Amino acid sequence: MNIVVQKYGGTSIENIEKIQNIAKKIVSKKQKGEGLVVVLSAMGKTTDELIQLAKQISPTPKSRELDLLMSTGEQISISLMSIALQELGYESIALTGFQAGIQTQGYYTKSRIQDIDIKTIKTYVQEGKIVVVAGFQGINEVGAITTLGRGGSDTTAVALAAKLECACEIYTDVDGIYTVDPRLVPTAKKLDYISYEEMLEMSSLGSGVMETRAVEMGQKYNVPIYVALSHEEWPGTYIKEYDATMESKIITGMSVSDKDLMVTLYCVPYHIKNISMIFQEISQKDINVDMISQTAPLNGVVNVSFTVPKEDENVILEIIGELQKNWTNMKADIQKDITKLSVVGIGMRSQSGVAAKMFEILAENNIEFKQVTTSEIKISYAISTKDQQKAIESIIKEFDL
């Protein structure tokens, strides 16, 4: 039996009517003889509402209890969906992450999937049941429920597809992957396909359609991923392995993110061990650092700048406080009005001049950048948020995005 993993996001199932509509869509797939494993997020803004409930009691709830609380959102979704499928006359069974064999490790609220024991799921699929699995959650080595962080349901779906050796379909509130976020640029073009590598760069840079770890897993295990609109039968976008035709255009897409802040540490005593210690402290708190720059040593000190997610600001402040106990002359500055703007394209590997053109665009529009990083297929700039729209419009015009 051919198996397909489908994933539906929170906006696709935010109320009973939408759940019933999605149930009909699932049934239509089942009628074609497919074995189905359906992964669901929590309904609508349920996760945010649960977090707010916890914060009404404590401004800093313990992560273990927060995970236990947040995991109930997906359990509501899978229970209601399974009931809806049964009401349509189809056998269905809902499984929590633990029941589905999803084993996790790492920190609470941002765990990672270590392995999946798929025996239970395969048994139910072979019995002809539609298996509905809670995304975003699993169970760790001490038997505690953990969650996978924002977008974790994408990761659950792709991980299941990897273990089941099948395709993965991600259904959401957008009809595919665009050159630029269509909410920012209504004229943005939808892509028929994009390589894993390009999608990974765009996801890590703030494109909200796919979660980064899900794309990484898709690339590692060569899982075909299809991204499409949940409530319409419009063509979506395929995320697939690179092929030569993808080099025809220099820039495939652009990512724009306001989710980072920039930290600058002034007068850091210059020694490689000191620089290492800063980033070890950040790493130990499981905080992702993106852009990093350092000034040349002068009078035995350097300035170090880096970007981190805004949601980690409080932890960063704690780390700065600890560093200042040893380095009393060190000062810190945090800038929140930062936009990270990146252009991505495999075509950059074989065609030169993109960096020169980007600098030219910024100069012509009097847009100052605070940091810049590059890779073989990406150039990223940190600019002031006030210049965001002007930069977007200029880049779109130049590269025909």
For the cut 60, the answer to whether the pLDDT of residue 237 exceeds it is yes
Average pLDDT, the chain: 90
Question: 170-190 pLDDT, tens per residue?
Answer: 998 888 888 888 878 888 888
DSSP tag of 239: E
Instruction: Tell me the mean pLDDT in the region 219-232.
Output: 90
For the cut 80, the answer to whether the pLDDT of residue 142 exceeds it is yes
Question: 251-291 pLDDT, tens per residue?
Answer: 888 888 888 899 999 999 998 999 998 999 898 888 888 88
- The answer to whether 129 and 92 have CB atoms below 8 angstroms apart is yes
**Coil, helix or strand at residue 9:** coil
- pLDDT of amino acid 109: 92
Question: 99-119 pLDDT, tens per residue?
Answer: 999 999 998 998 999 999 999
Residue 195 or residue 79, greater confidence: 79
Cα–Cα distance between 220 and 198 in angstroms, integer? 14
| Residue 136 backbone class (left: φ over 0; alpha: ψ -120 to 50; beta: rest) | left
CA angle (264, 208, 248) in 5-degree steps: 100
- pLDDT of amino acid 208: 65
Q: How far is CA 389 from CA 259, 362, 394, 396, in A?
A: 16, 12, 9, 11
CA angle (129, 216, 228) in 5-degree steps: 55
Burial category of 307 from C-beta neighbours within 10 Å (exposed 0-12, middle 13-18, buried 19 and up): buried
CATH fold of 3-173:
Carbamate kinase (3.40.1160)
With DSSP H G I counted as helix, E B as strand and the rest as coil, what are the percentages for the chain, rounded to 5?
40, 25, 30
- The answer to whether 116 and 159 have CB atoms below 8 angstroms apart is yes
- Here the tokens at position 158 are 């792709």
- pLDDT of amino acid 90: 97
DSSP tag of 350: T
**β 137-139/145-147 pair status:** antiparallel
CA angle (124, 127, 133) in 5-degree steps: 25
**Coil, helix or strand at residue 63:** helix
For the cut 70, the answer to whether the pLDDT of residue 130 exceeds it is yes
For the cut 70, the answer to whether the pLDDT of residue 84 exceeds it is yes
Residue 151 or residue 33, greater confidence: 33
Domain boundaries, the chain: 3-173
For the cut 80, the answer to whether the pLDDT of residue 242 exceeds it is no
Cα–Cα distance between 47 and 274 in angstroms, integer? 39
Residue 268's DSSP bridge partners are 302
Q: How many CA atoms lie within 13 A of 265 on its CB side?
A: 27
Cα–Cα distance between 168 and 179 in angstroms, integer? 22
Task: Give percent above pLDDT 70 in the chain.
Answer: 97
Question: 326-371 pLDDT, tens per residue?
Answer: 898 899 999 999 898 888 888 787 777 888 888 999 999 999 888 8
- pLDDT of amino acid 187: 85
Instruction: Tell me the mean pLDDT in the region 295-306.
Output: 90
For the cut 80, the answer to whether the pLDDT of residue 244 exceeds it is no
Mutual angle of helices 212-221 and 196-204, in 10-degree steps: 160
For the cut 60, the answer to whether the pLDDT of residue 247 exceeds it is no
